[in-house]
Structures are given as structure tokens and as C-alpha cells.
Amino acid sequence: MGLFNKLIRNQNKQDFSSWLDRHLSKDLSASILAFCFNIYEGSSHTYEIELVGCASFDDYDDDWACDEIFATRDDLFSISRTRDIAHWEQGLSIVIAHVKQYLADGKYADKLKNARAVGVGFVDGNIEIIQKGVAS
């Protein structure tokens, strides 16, 4: 990976944390049982990420992510596709890496960790559970 792509990836990580801080700093409903980071392929050669809080969670049925009671749909986070993250698998990997980093040292990571689960996935695909919380 070139120096430019490393700088872009690091900037994305910092911006991602700031974006999450802005949303997780709010008073969120106590009814949120799980969170999902939905990924969309944007029309401007980007990956668009939305955080949703859901009122249910099911280990065996990804439709739990449709039971949303909170969403950042009006404020998506964008990651530009580069040569290193051109394919959807690479886009998924970079979003998972950002979420895991936030879970490790994010200012409001406990809000995510205290949910039953945190998942990441494309809206038309499977959800990868990357964190099971204390409430599971």
C-alpha cells in the first residue's frame, strides 16, 4: 500500500471516530438492544456507512437489523474507494477494522459494547457480528 493510501486510511479512521462520537454522545433509547453498521455502495465511488440501533437481536436471523429505532441515515459516513479498497470485500474489511478500533479505544465505545451485539455488513448481504455485549 502506498504512502498516500496509508494517509487516507488513517484520516478515515480519525474521521470515523469523530462521526461516531457525534452520534453516540446523544441520549439513545434504552430500547436499543443491538447496533449494525450498514454499508452501501455509493454513487460517487464511495462506501457509505450508516449506524442503526435495533430493538431486537437474533443470532440466527439477520433481519434483526431491520428492526431499527435509531439511524444516522441523514448523516452517512463516506469512505472513498481507492485501488486498495475497490472491491466490496475490501470495503467490508476496512469498515470492520474501523469499528473494531473504535470498540478498542473510542470515547463512547461502551454504548456499543453494552448492546447484545454489534454487526457490520452490506445492506443486501450478511451481517458479520464483531462484538457480543454483556447483555447477550
Ordered by start, the domain boundaries in the chain are 3-132
| End-to-end Cα distance, the chain | 38
Q: Tell me the C-alpha distance between 119 and 125, whole Å.
A: 12
**pLDDT tens-digit series, residues 101-132:** 999 999 999 999 999 999 999 998 899 999 99
**pLDDT tens-digit series, residues 19-74:** 999 999 999 999 999 999 999 998 889 999 999 999 999 999 999 999 999 999 99
Q: Which backbone phi and psi does 41 adopt, to 5 degrees?
A: -85, 110
SS3 7: helix
pTM to 2 decimals?
0.88
